[in-house]
Amino acid sequence: MHDIITIRGTVGSDPRVYRSPSGVTVTTFRVASNHRVRDRESGEWSDGTTNWFTVSAFRALGDNAAKSLRKGQRVVVQGRLKIRDWTAGDKHGTSVDLEADTVGHDLAYGTADYVRVYTGLPTGLGDDETVAAGDAEGDVASGSEGADPEAGTAGDWGALGGAEDGADVLAAVFGDVVELADERAEPVAVG
């Protein structure tokens, strides 16, 4: 049995990306979580105890965390708590690890710009087909039935360019994701 917890805190280290021998992406980073304490007599606030967690995110979550997170950013992480004892030479300690199921920026402290990442072409997309809102798995088309694909209405991919073969739409959507991925952390081989 694993304990599921949610923490709010500050990213304490830039994410590090590893690849297992089987090709699984693992991204790790540290999170400092503390709470503010108010002294009832003086009315002043101070920092309470800081708890440090080593967060591990696997596969797509790990890829996205590496591309999105930086040291100093506020985050919310939910996952499985794992406490382990360690020994390194004559030193002993306890590590508090969190295997993440969900990671996101804490919007109480800033804003975020969500970009959906597509790992491949939407199902059934051929050379002569165009992509419309709602065609990719998980997308929801809202009020776009019967709409002019060149009109650029909300939720309509025609707003991205409207080429007849859809190539510029795919380039606009997938190209941005590729560029973003190229700007971020490089994987480190594990071996």
DSSP structure string for 56-94: EEEHHHHHHHHHH--TT-EEEEEEEEEEEEEEETTEEEE
Residue 103 three-state SS: strand
Instruction: Report, as an integer, the average pLDDT of 111-121.
Output: 81
In the predicted structure, residue 132 carries a pLDDT above the cut 70: no
| pLDDT-wise least confident of 47-56, 81-90, 173-182 | 173-182
**What is the C-alpha to C-alpha distance for residues 37 and 90, in angstroms, rounded to an integer?**
36
Note the pLDDT of residue 186: 52
- Residue 117 is predicted with a pLDDT of 83
Domains contained in the chain, CATH given = 3-114 (2.40.50.140), 115-191 (no CATH)
Report the alpha-carbon distance of residue 13 to residue 53 in Å, rounded.
Answer: 11
Q: What digits encode the pLDDT tens for the residues 94-105?
A: 999 999 999 999
pLDDT band at 190 (very low <50, low <70, confident <90, very high): low
The structure tokens listed for 56 are: 């591990």
- In this structure, are residues 19 and 187 in contact, taking their beta carbons and an 8 Å threshold? yes
Task: Give me the pLDDT at residue 37, please.
Answer: 87
- How far is the C-alpha of 95 from the C-alpha of 166, rounded, in Å? 50
Helix (H) or strand (E) holding 169: helix 167-183
pLDDT score, position 185 = 52
pLDDT tens for each residue of 137-150: 444 444 444 444 44
d(CA 32, CA 43): 25
Question: Which run of H or of E encompasses 26?
Answer: strand 25-33
pLDDT of residue 58: 97
Can you name the residues that pair with 98 across neighbouring β-strands? 55, 81
Mean pLDDT of 157-176: 42
